Structure 1
Amino acid sequence: MDSKLIDKYYKGECSPQEVEQVLEWFKRKEMDAGQLQDMYEFWQEAEEEKTNEEFSQASARLFTNISQKIDAQEKQSLTQHSVPVAAKKRKPAYIKNNQWKVLMKVAASIVLPIGLVWLLAVYFSGTTQPETQLVSVETSPGTRKTIHLADGSTIMLNGGSKVSYQPHFSASKREIRLKGEAFFEVAKDSLRPFIVQTGTLSTQALGTSFNISYREKENAISVALATGIVKIDKGTQQASSQIARLKPGQQLIYNKVNHGYKVKDFDAREVLSWREGILYFKQANLAQVVSKLENWYGLTVELTGKIPGRDKEWHYTGSYQNQSLDNVLEGIAFVKKFSYEKNGNTVKIKFN
């Protein structure tokens, strides 16, 4: 199929004979689940182009016109190929006709922007790509790992963290999904933004470095920018809105419970020192100390005795580089006056 003919079709410039040729071409194409998924992804990418009212109105008109042509073509086909009732038990022909009808309506709704037209033509010319599996890299508590991506970017994973991504990024974006904490150094590519998904937040950059912490047990998501510029959106791919644009030295703190957020300056030693194996506490309250210990060493902390309440301030500042759990607990216990005991993967802290 000539890509110029497809281009004419979407511009509404085809003759009746050319329309029939395009429809017959789609009709002959058998679509499996993977190909239909790719068509949906094309649709999603095209949706991003619908940023103005004029485009949306043109899209609706074109979709309606093409749908009507498809319906008319299908009715004509059914009339020309009517069969006795006894023969209607054979379903393949119906399935095929219905399939190309659905496919064409999906393709029509795309209203392909320039650049996707040839991509669709090449895709359906017979050359298909095998379905790829996501690459997932995970670290155990207390370990760190550096990942080198195909685009030249690097990811350093903190302990108890996981990233997932396509082995080969698409032509329009580089997308990563993160659970835990990681530091990203993004290679510059003005045509493909680098996007990190963390729950309802997405952080987008072109060439920059930043740290993200997104742990399921913690109430906050934090994004700290070291170099460059990033923008942070909230919501889904279909409906999202920008909530912040960070400059170097700034950090976004987003509350997962009440959905509030704030932007402030951050202490690089406090946020980034984990990359050097430093467990750093800066005026950390009891809950923060417990959370860091659990994430760093992969254990559960239980508190007993006279646990400090909200009416009594409890903060701790300290730094430990590549230290054992015992050394860290002894250091904190000496200052904060508590005892502890270990039982397998559990540490019981008793306040005096």
Structure 2
Amino acid sequence: MISQEKFIELIDKYVSGTITPAEHHELFACIRSGKYDAVISTHIDQKLKEKPEGMSNLPAYRSEEIIRKVLQSDKETTLLIPKKSSRVRMIYWFAASAAVFVIAFLVFKPDFSTGEKKPALVTQAEPENNLLLTSNTSAAPLSILLQDGSSVTLQPGSSISYERDFVKDKREVKLKGEAFFNVVKNSKSPFFVYSNNLVAKVLGTSFNVKAEPEKLQMEVAVRTGRVQVYERTENVQAGKNKRNGVVLMPNQRVVYHEKSRQFVATLVEDPQPIEIAKLETFENSLAYEEVPLSNILPKLEEIYGIDIVVENENINRCLFTGDITKPNLLKKLDIICQALNASYEIVGTNILIRGSGCGELH
């Protein structure tokens, strides 16, 4: 697991709205482990005692109201937060209280030019026909906890709608815009995300969905697990029995072009270790001295879950010396290829390494 300092850094990023989807996934994995409960409690208490810039000018009753909203957040978010155990309640209370604290401060922070309070930046519709609609009208990502414990990071200008209580055999969410989903696994209840012409179906995983109406295209990128992406049935031309779609694995993404109805699969821009534990296992063995490439590439494949293919088998005979522990995957490959006078390119969901190779090993 990560250090307390790194954990607190992720908390601060979460509250400020600057956390990345990968960091969001890492933060909530740590929270769910229960190993950071004491850190969470201490950090929230400390933050509540601090006064952000401008807070000192608030009337006393406004400050008290903000504190009250944070302390009551568990009760006020019961529509979104399941109550399963004392530890789980604490986890979701932390996420809710952090969000409420930020929202409350933005709502009540005075406008010094007019003396009037600023409008809320994030709006949530009231339940209607058993549906909840949440829109992010702020300039920062919005974190939402669903009834089943899954989390959604909703990007600015985006919205989702979903049933207040998921039915037993499926969980459905409709998305407009872009969001990162971290879905709790439930083999008996698949999770569906509907966005324009596409459907993303998962059992339990984390992935990002982005719709770009101006480009007539959509993108789905997988962080962990497996995601099935296909066209919505009602949008498929009559007489075609075969469903048009793809299955994505970690570090893969697909771009769907609405006009041509084509799926183009490739890799995400910055592939991440598919399991943090695997990276930690290999960290001490990614510094090499005169080691054949044939011994290095399989380790990278296992860490990132990506097939790395050599065009010329002689490349595998080349000896590499260097430390590639810290850089990301693509930088690792840059270092290797530069040392071996080779090159690489992304071909579909694979990586192809080209070069003349080396002679017989001695």
User: TM-score scaled by structure 1?
Assistant: 0.38
Larger radius of gyration: 1
**Relative contact order, higher structure (CA 8 A, sep 6+):** 1
TM-score (norm 2): 0.37
